[in-house]
Amino acid sequence: MEKILSSAHWETVGEEPVDVEFTIRHLQPDQEYEFRVAAVNAAGQGPWSDSSEPCVPAKVVESAKPNLVTPLANANVQVGESVELECEFKLGEPKGEVTW
């Protein structure tokens, strides 16, 4: 699979066997891309497909781990008393879920 960015040169973005879906990472937001594919087997590479319609990624999604901004503070309570524990964190990307 190859991509082209704003009439530059074609760039290979994947050579691994794919089924019917392939994820291309590190695209630039607000840049126009086109894509094309070619099949390869023991006899060699077939012809390139027609290029896709131009498309623009809406947002770059980079992976980021959740980050603890303010940790839990120590609390001393008597048996049977209620306690409230607070901390602040960023969920990262893609958004995770919080489980206590």
pTM above 0.85, yes or no: no
**pLDDT score recorded for residue 1:** 60
**pLDDT score recorded for residue 28:** 81
**pLDDT score recorded for residue 7:** 62
pLDDT digits 0-9 by tens, 49-65: 998 898 888 765 666 77
Are 30 and 56 a contacting pair, CB within 8 Å?
Answer: yes
Q: Does 82 map to a domain? A: no
pLDDT digits 0-9 by tens, 16-73: 766 777 788 788 877 888 888 888 888 988 999 998 898 888 765 666 777 888 888 8
CB-count exposure of residue 93 (10 Å: 0-12, 13-18, 19+): middle
Q: Does 17 map to a domain? A: yes
Q: Does 85 map to a domain? A: no
Q: Does 39 map to a domain? A: yes
Q: Does 18 map to a domain? A: yes
Range of the domain at 44: 2-48
Q: Does 23 map to a domain? A: yes
Query: Taking CA 92 as the corner, what is the angle to CA 90 and CA 94, rounded to the nearest 5 degrees?
Result: 145
Q: Does 40 map to a domain? A: yes
Q: How many domains does the chain have?
A: 1
